[in-house]
């Protein structure tokens, strides 16, 4: 049976979580994230850093500066990594904040972001061109040894946003590493908006904002991966991409959202499309501040995300 809302299912998949499964992660008496209840005993094994109870995990008040908190957490996080609680240590620092633009309360290793449910950010670049009078997009197929979504389809360029780089500097770096895009071409990328979602995962909470860029690449440009994260690239027509989104789950979960946003902005999904309004709403479900409950709505509402059952 054909899915009645084939594109909307990608948004549903990225916006589901069960509040009862989580407790606040608190720093300096301010909530900055969410911790799964079953992860509380892991944190409690580090009483020099965390104060744990049934209803929250908090960094101890004895650590009063950003630098002290960051230094105090680092050995605990490394021990957790040795115990297998993180997929891969990245040596990239992310800021724990109450909202985008707020002052960081501490910095922690990227691998620990989901475990503590802090706000994660990234840059995603759509690379597109016209070929034979038809719009096309470059798609990357992720390497099979990637810890997240191996073998799935991806943007031409995408990467997490470390606290130590500006958005543009990070985009230029990722362009060089992932697709061998020279800096002069990367700087032509246009910032076109942001996408957000909040998703329960087995390893915690993904509470992300993706900053999206468009880059019209020359017809003679061919991407080449240099960091081993992309297996190969595909140049697909927009028609092929829409068909793939409607009939398969071959795109990485958040990359599907970025492609759908591109299709709407470039007029490939017109306002008459039956999912148009729901897609517009569902691509931006939070503004980076903490939510106490997931997006909800009547299943028969034309702009409801109609959340599926909770993640097991």
- Judged against a pLDDT cut of 50, whether residue 292 lies above it is answered with yes
* 3-state secondary structure at position 243: helix
> Which whole number is the average pLDDT over 1-12?
81
Cβ proximity of 124 and 142 under 8 Å = no
- Which of 9-23, 31-45, 51-65, 283-297 has the least mean pLDDT? 283-297
What CATH fold (topology level) applies to the domain 8-16+120-282? Nucleoside Triphosphate Pyrophosphohydrolase (3.90.79)
- Judged against a pLDDT cut of 90, whether residue 212 lies above it is answered with yes
- For residue 174, what are the CA distances in angstroms to 97, 154, 260? 24, 13, 22
> Which whole number is the average pLDDT over 141-162?
96
> Which whole number is the average pLDDT over 6-30?
96
pLDDT at 290: 81
If you average pLDDT over every residue of the chain, what do you get?
92
pLDDT at 4: 66
Q: How confident is the model at residue 311 (pLDDT cuts 50, 70, 90)?
A: very low
Q: Which CATH code for domain 19-117? A: 3.30.750.160
pLDDT digits (tens, 9 = 90+) for 169-180: 999 999 999 999
Q: How many CB atoms lie within 10 A of CB 137?
A: 23
Q: How confident is the model at residue 147 (pLDDT cuts 50, 70, 90)?
A: confident
- Judged against a pLDDT cut of 60, whether residue 301 lies above it is answered with no
> Which whole number is the average pLDDT over 225-237?
96
Residue ranges of alpha helices (H) inside 19-166 are 40-44, 66-82, 113-116
Cβ proximity of 145 and 121 under 8 Å = no
- Judged against a pLDDT cut of 80, whether residue 298 lies above it is answered with no
The percent of residues in the chain predicted with pLDDT above 70, rounded, is: 92
> Which whole number is the average pLDDT over 51-63?
98
Q: How many CB atoms lie within 10 A of CB 199?
A: 20
- Judged against a pLDDT cut of 60, whether residue 214 lies above it is answered with yes
- Judged against a pLDDT cut of 70, whether residue 85 lies above it is answered with yes
Which part of the chain is CATH 3.90.79.10? 8-16+120-282
Which part of the chain is CATH 3.30.750.160? 19-117
- Judged against a pLDDT cut of 70, whether residue 197 lies above it is answered with yes
């Amino acid at each position: 049976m054909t899915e009645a809302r084939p594109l909307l299912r990608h948004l549903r998949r990225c916006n589901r979580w069960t509040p009862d499964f989580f407790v606040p992660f608190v720093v300096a008496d301010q909530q900055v994230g969410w911790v799964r209840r079953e992860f509380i005993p892991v944190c409690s094994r580090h009483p020099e850093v965390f104060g744990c109870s049934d209803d929250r995990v908090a960094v101890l008040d004895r650590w009063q500066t950003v630098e002290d908190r960051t230094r105090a957490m680092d050995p605990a996080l490394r021990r957790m990594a040795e115990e297998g609680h993180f997929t891969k240590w990245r040596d990239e620092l992310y800021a724990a904040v109450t909202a985008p633009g707020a002052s960081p309360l501490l910095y922690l290793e990227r691998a620990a972001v989901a475990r503590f449910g802090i706000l994660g950010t990234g840059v995603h670049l759509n690379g597109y061109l016209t070929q034979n009078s038809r719009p096309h997009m470059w798609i990357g197929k992720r390497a099979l040894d990637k810890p997240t979504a191996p073998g799935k389809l991806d943007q031409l360029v995408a990467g997490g946003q470390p606290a130590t780089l500006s958005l543009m500097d990070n985009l230029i770096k990722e362009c060089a590493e992932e697709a061998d895009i020279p800096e002069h071409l990367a700087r032509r990328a246009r910032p076109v908006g942001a996408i957000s979602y909040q998703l329960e995962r087995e390893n915690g909470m993904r509470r992300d904002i993706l900053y999206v860029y468009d880059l019209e690449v020359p017809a003679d440009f061919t991407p080449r991966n240099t960091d081993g994260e992309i297996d190969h690239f595909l140049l697909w027509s927009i028609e092929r991409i829409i068909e793939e989104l409607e009939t398969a789950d071959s795109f990485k979960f958040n990359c599907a959202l970025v492609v759908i946003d591109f299709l709407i902005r470039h007029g490939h999904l017109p306002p008459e499309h039956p999912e148009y309004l729901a897609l517009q709403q569902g691509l931006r479900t939070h503004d980076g501040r903490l939510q106490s409950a997931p997006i909800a709505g009547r299943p028969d509402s034309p702009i409801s995300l109609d959340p599926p059952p909770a993640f097991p």
